[in-house]
C-alpha cells in the first residue's frame, strides 16, 4: 500500500527498545548494553541497531545479576516487554509511516479490493444454504448434508493461522492471489462434481483458499489504519459479511430455480478473478527479505490433526457411530494428544503459527473464547434455517433465503454503528457484553418456533439475534488487534479468527449431527407407516407431491429436530457475558505503529 515502508526501524520499534532499556536501568545495567557488556547497537543493515537492541532486551531479564531485586510485577513486565520485542524483531519490522491525507484515494482503492475478497469468501459459506436440499436430492445423501458446509469451514479454519503467519513473514499480496486461485479451483470442482463425495472434496478445496481471504483483509487494514480509526472500517467489513449472508441464500435459491444448482459455484469464479485483479493492481509488492525464516511445519501438521479429529468426532458422533463407540472416543483422544503436541511444538518453534505469548494477554483470551461461542451459535442457525423454511413453511428457495434478511439487517445495523461509535468515543467494552446478552435472548426466542409460527414473528426473532451478534462480532477483532504490536497483528488476528472458526465448525457439525440424528429417529419411526420414503431423497419438490399426512409428519419432524437445539447455545453465551465483564478497556491506539498493551496485563 502507498505510504507503507517495511524496511527499517520505526518509532514503535524505538519505543519498545526504550521500554527494555528502562527495565535494564532499573536492574542496575547501563542502558543499551547487553548482558556481556557489548553495545546494543550493531550491524550496518537497515534497522540493525533496533534489532540488536531487541536481542539485548531479550537477554537482559535472564542475564542480569540484579534482576532478583525487582518486584514480581516488574519482572513480569520486563519479561513481557522482552517477549514482544523479540517477536516483533522476528516478524520483520512494522510499517514506518501511515498513509498521508493526500493518499486517501489509494487507501480507498485498497479497501474496496479487500471488501471484494471478503465478499467472495463469506458468500461461499452461505450460497449453498437454500440450494442444499435440492443438491443432496440430486446427488443423494441427506445423511452427509452437513459436510457440504462443514468441509469448507474445516479447511478454512486450518488455513487461517497459516495465512496469518505467512502474511506477517512474507507480505500479504501474493498470498491473496494464491488463496483466490485455490478458491477458483475448488469452485470449479464443485460445479462439475458428479457425486456428493466430489462436491464435498470441492468444498474443502474452496476452504483451503477461502480461509486466507478474511484474515489477510483484516490484517492488511491493520497495516494502514490505526486502531482508533479502524473501528469504522471493521464495521463496514462486518456489513459485507451481513450483506453476503443475505445475498448468498437468495442467489442460491435463484440459481436452483433458473439455471440449476451447479451455476451457483460457477458464479464465484468471475468474482474471484475480479478480486485477483484488484489485489494485483492496488496492493504494492512486499519487501524482499534477505533471510529465510523457518516455517512451522510441525505446528501446522499438529494443528491440522487436532482440529480435524475434533470436527470429525462431533460430526460423526450420534450419526455414523454412537457417541461412546471406540471410533468417536478414539477421535477425541487423538484430538487431545495432537493438541498437546501442538502446544509443545509451538513453545519450541522459532516462528510459531500461534505464539503461546498471545495467551498471556487476558483480553485476547476472553475475546477469543466469546467470539468462538457466538460463531458456534450463528453458524448453526445460518446453516439450517433456510432448509427449515423450505421444508416446514413450504417456501421456495429464494423465499427461504429472503427470510434470513431480518437477521442480517440486525447485524448490518449494529456492526456499522458500533464501529463508528468505537472510532468516535474510543469506548467499546459495553459492546461485546451487550452482544452476548441480546444474542442469548434471540436464541431463546428461536427455540420457541413451531410449524404454526408466522413468518413475521420468525423475522422479528431473527432480527433480535442478528442485532445481538452485530454488537460484538467485529469489535472483538479490533480489541485483539489493539492489544499487540503491529508486527504480529496478522498472527494475532489469525489466531483469534482461528478459534472463532472452530466455533463455526463445531456449530455446523454439532448442530448438523444433532439435527440429523433426531430427524432420522423421528422419520424412521413414522415414515414406514406411510409411504416408506427414503430420508436421503427428501427434498422440497418430493414433499410437495406427498399426501397431506406424510407431509405433516416430515414437517413436524424437521421442526422438532432443529428448534430445541437453539436453546443449547444460550448457556455458552451466558459464559461469554461473564467473560466480557472481565475485559480491560485499554485505549485504542492512534497510530499504526503502536506497541500494544500486552506488557501491562498479566494472567
- Asked if the structure places residue 248 within a domain, the reply is yes
Same domain, 327 and 406: no
Distance between CA 517 and CA 300 in Å, rounded?
33
| Helix, strand, coil content of the chain in percent (nearest 5) | 75, 0, 25
Q: What is the pLDDT of residue 472?
A: 85
- Asked if the structure places residue 445 within a domain, the reply is yes
Q: Phi-psi bin for 251: left (phi > 0), alpha (psi -120 to 50), beta?
A: alpha
User: Model-level pTM?
Assistant: 0.68
Residues in the chain, total: 603
Same domain, 286 and 300: no
Same domain, 154 and 230: yes
Cα 156 to Cα 2, 119, 242, 371: the distances in Å are 29, 15, 19, 17
In this structure, what CATH number is given to the domain that contains residue 205?
Answer: 1.20.1250.20
pLDDT beneath 70: ranges in the chain: 1-106, 129-130, 141-143, 242, 246, 284, 286-292, 318-319, 526-542, 544-545, 591-603
Q: What is the pLDDT of residue 74?
A: 54
Same domain, 490 and 585: yes
Same domain, 117 and 266: yes
Q: Which of 268, 292, 316 is the last residue of a domain?
A: 292
Cα-flanking dihedrals φ and ψ of residue 227, to 5°?
-55, -40
Cα 106 to Cα 111, 113, 132, 273, 278: the distances in Å are 9, 11, 40, 21, 12
**In sequence order, which residues have a C-beta less than 8 Å from that of residue 201 and are 6 or more positions away?**
151, 189, 193
Same domain, 268 and 414: no
Q: Which of 272, 292, 312 is the last residue of a domain?
A: 292
Same domain, 410 and 540: yes
Same domain, 275 and 410: no
Same domain, 406 and 264: no
- What is the total count of domains within the chain? 3
- Asked if the structure places residue 312 within a domain, the reply is yes
- Asked if the structure places residue 470 within a domain, the reply is yes
- Asked if the structure places residue 79 within a domain, the reply is no
Under 8 Å between Cβ of 350 and 481: no
DSSP calls for 8-28 = S--HHHHHHHHHHHHHHHHTT
Q: Where are the alpha helices (DSSP H) in 27-145?
A: 48-63, 72-90, 104-126, 132-139
What H or E segment, with its residue span, contains residue 392? helix 362-392
Nearest C-alpha neighbor of 544 from the set 396, 384, 385, 388: 396
Q: What is the pLDDT of residue 29?
A: 43
Same domain, 368 and 481: yes
Same domain, 279 and 373: no
Q: Which of 292, 314, 340 is the last residue of a domain?
A: 292
Domain that residue 556 falls in: 355-594
- Asked if the structure places residue 280 within a domain, the reply is yes
- Asked if the structure places residue 590 within a domain, the reply is yes
Under 8 Å between Cβ of 235 and 474: yes
Same domain, 397 and 493: yes
Q: What is the pLDDT of residue 160?
A: 84
- Asked if the structure places residue 4 within a domain, the reply is no
Amino acid at each position: 500500500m502507498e505510504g507503507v515502508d517495511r524496511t527499517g526501524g520505526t518509532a514503535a520499534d524505538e519505543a519498545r527498545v526504550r521500554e527494555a532499556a528502562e527495565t535494564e536501568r532499573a536492574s542496575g545495567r547501563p542502558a543499551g548494553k547487553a548482558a556481556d557488556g557489548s553495545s546494543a547497537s550493531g550491524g550496518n543493515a537497515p534497522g540493525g541497531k533496533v534489532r540488536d537492541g531487541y536481542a539485548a532486551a531479550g537477554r537482559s531479564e535472564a542475564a542480569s545479576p540484579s534482576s532478583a531485586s525487582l518486584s514480581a510485577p516488574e519482572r513480569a513486565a520486563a519479561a513481557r516487554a522482552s517477549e514482544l520485542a523479540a517477536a516483533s524483531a522476528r516478524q520483520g519490522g512494522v510499517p514506518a509511516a501511515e498513509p498521508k491525507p493526500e493518499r486517501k484515494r489509494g487507501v480507498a482503492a485498497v479497501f474496496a479490493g479487500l471488501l471484494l475478497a471478503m465478499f467472495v469468501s463469506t458468500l461461499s459459506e452461505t450460497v449453498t444454504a437454500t440450494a442444499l436440499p435440492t443438491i443432496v436430492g440430486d446427488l443423494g445423501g441427506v445423511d452427509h448434508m452437513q459436510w457440504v458446509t462443514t468441509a469448507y469451514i474445516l479447511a478454512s479454519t486450518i488455513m487461517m493461522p497459516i495465512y496469518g503467519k505467512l502474511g506477517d513473514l512474507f507480505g500479504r499480496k501474493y498470498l491473496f492471489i494464491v488463496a483466490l486461485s485455490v478458491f477458483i479451483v475448488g469452485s470449479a470442482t464443485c460445479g462439475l462434481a458428479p457425486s456428493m463425495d466430489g462436491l464435498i472434496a470441492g468444498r474443502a478445496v474452496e476452504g483451503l483458499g477461502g480461509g486466507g481471504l478474511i484474515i489477510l483483509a483484516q490484517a492488511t487494514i491493520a497495516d494502514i489504519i490505526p486502531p482508533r480509526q479502524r473501528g469504522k472500517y471493521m464495521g463496514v467489513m462486518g456489513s459485507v459479511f451481513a450483506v453476503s449472508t443475505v445475498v448468498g441464500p437468495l442467489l442460491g435459491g435463484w440459481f436452483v430455480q433458473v439455471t440449476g444448482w451447479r451455476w451457483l459455484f460457477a458464479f464465484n469464479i468471475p468474482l474471484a478473478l475480479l478480486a485477483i485483479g484488484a489485489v494485483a493492481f492496488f496492493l504494492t509488492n512486499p519487501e524482499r527479505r534477505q533471510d529465510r525464516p523457518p516455517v512451522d511445519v510441525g505446528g501446522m501438521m499438529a494443528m491440522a490433526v487436532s482440529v480435524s479429529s475434533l470436527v470429525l468426532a462431533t460430526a460423526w458422533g450420534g450419526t455414523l457411530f454412537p457417541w461412546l463407540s471406540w471410533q468417536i472416543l478414539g477421535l477425541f483422544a487423538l484430538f487431545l494428544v495432537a493438541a498437546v503436541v501442538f502446544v509443545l511444538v509451538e513453545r519450541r518453534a522459532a516462528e510459531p503459527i500461534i505464539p503461546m505469548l498471545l495467551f498471556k494477554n487476558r483480553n485476547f483470551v476472553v475475546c477469543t473464547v466469546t467470539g468462538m461461542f457466538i460463531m458456534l451459535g450463528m453458524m448453526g442457525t445460518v446453516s439450517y434455517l433456510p432448509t427449515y423454511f423450505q421444508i416446514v413453511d413450504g417456501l421456495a428457495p429464494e423465499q427461504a433465503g429472503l427470510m434470513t434478511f431480518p437477521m442480517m439487517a440486525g447485524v448490518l445495523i449494529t456492526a456499522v454503528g458500533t464501529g463508528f461509535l468505537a472510532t468516535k468515543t474510543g469506548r467499546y467494552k459495553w459492546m461485546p457484553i451487550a452482544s452476548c446478552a441480546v444474542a442469548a435472548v434471540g436464541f431463546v426466542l428461536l427455540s420457541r418456533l413451531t410449524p404454526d409460527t408466522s413468518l413475521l414473528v420468525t423475522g422479528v426473532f431473527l432480527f433480535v439475534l442478528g442485532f445481538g451478534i452485530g454488537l460484538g462480532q467485529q469489535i472483538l477483532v479490533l480489541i485483539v488487534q489493539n492489544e499487540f504490536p503491529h508486527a504480529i497483528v496478522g498472527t494475532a488476528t489469525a489466531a483469534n479468527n482461528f478459534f472463532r472458526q472452530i466455533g463455526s465448525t463445531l456449530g455446523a457439525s454439532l448442530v448438523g449431527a444433532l439435527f440429523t440424528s433426531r430427524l432420522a429417529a423421528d422419520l424412521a419411526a413414522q415414515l414406514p407407516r406411510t409411504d416408506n420414503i427414503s430420508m436421503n431423497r427428501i427434498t422440497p419438490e418430493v414433499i410437495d407431491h406427498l399426501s397431506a399426512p406424510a407431509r405433516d409428519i416430515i414437517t413436524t419432524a424437521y421442526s422438532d429436530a432443529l428448534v430445541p437445539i437453539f436453546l443449547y447455545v444460550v448457556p455458552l453465551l451466558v459464559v461469554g457475558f461473564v467473560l466480557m465483564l472481565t475485559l480491560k478497556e485499554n485505549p485504542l491506539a492512534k497510530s499504526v505503529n503502536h506497541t500494544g498493551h500486552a506488557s501491562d496485563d498479566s494472567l
